[in-house]
Amino acid sequence: MKPIQIMMDEELLRRLDRDAEVRRGGRSAVLRRATAEYLRRSSARRIAAAYRKAYGAGAGLGTDLSGWEDEGSWPGK
């Protein structure tokens, strides 16, 4: 692991230090977990945004396949 230095508001630091989990495991462990969770959620948001962009309402088939929307048919129809 690599040590880092961060700036934190004093009130936020006091609140962090009062937390039971921080007192048991230490600031570093809690901040590592918080960072990992932040990165997981950030990745999930980017993936969800990419899906919305690709498959969202009005996305259609794009300009490359424009005009082909009605060309497909289901068997038996």
* pLDDT tens readout for residues 37-55: 999 999 999 999 998 888 8
- Residue 44 included in any domain: yes
pTM: 0.66
Domain that holds residue 20: 10-54
Helix (H) or strand (E) holding 50: helix 27-55
How confident is the model at residue 77, as a pLDDT? 58
- Residue 15 included in any domain: yes
Residue 58's φ and ψ, nearest 5 degrees, are 80, 5
Domain count, the chain: 1
Residue 19's φ and ψ, nearest 5 degrees, are -70, 135
- Residue 32 included in any domain: yes
Percent of the chain's residues with pLDDT above 70: 86
- Residue 30 included in any domain: yes
- Residue 22 included in any domain: yes
- Residue 19 included in any domain: yes
- Residue 24 included in any domain: yes
